[in-house]
Amino acid sequence: MIPFLGGSFRTHMWHHMFSWAFIVFAVVHLYVVLFDSHQYRNGLTSSMISGYKFYQEGDLDHDTWLS
């Protein structure tokens, strides 16, 4: 694999860049999920954690895919 990626140094740099890209993606993803959860407060994020989705009065009338 090392010759394919251009030597030891380049292999190390590719690994380093992808590792940082993954960390940055995880942090940004977590921020966006928490921001969306706080902004819209529709219970989508908490339902992924708890397994229970709450509905407000009148929500189920518009969700035709549930019936």
- Give the chain's domain count: 1
CA distance 63 to 46: 19
Residue 30 falls inside a structural domain: yes
CA distance 42 to 50: 14
Residue 23 falls inside a structural domain: yes
Report DSSP state, residue 43.
Answer: S
What's the pLDDT tens digit per position in 1-58? Answer: 889 889 999 999 999 999 999 999 999 999 999 998 888 877 788 888 888 877 766 6
Residue 67 falls inside a structural domain: no
Residue 29 falls inside a structural domain: yes
Report whether 2 contacts 8 (CB < 8 A). Answer: yes
The whole domain housing 7 covers: 2-57
Report whether 25 contacts 31 (CB < 8 A). Answer: no
pTM greater than 0.75: no
pLDDT value for 37:
86
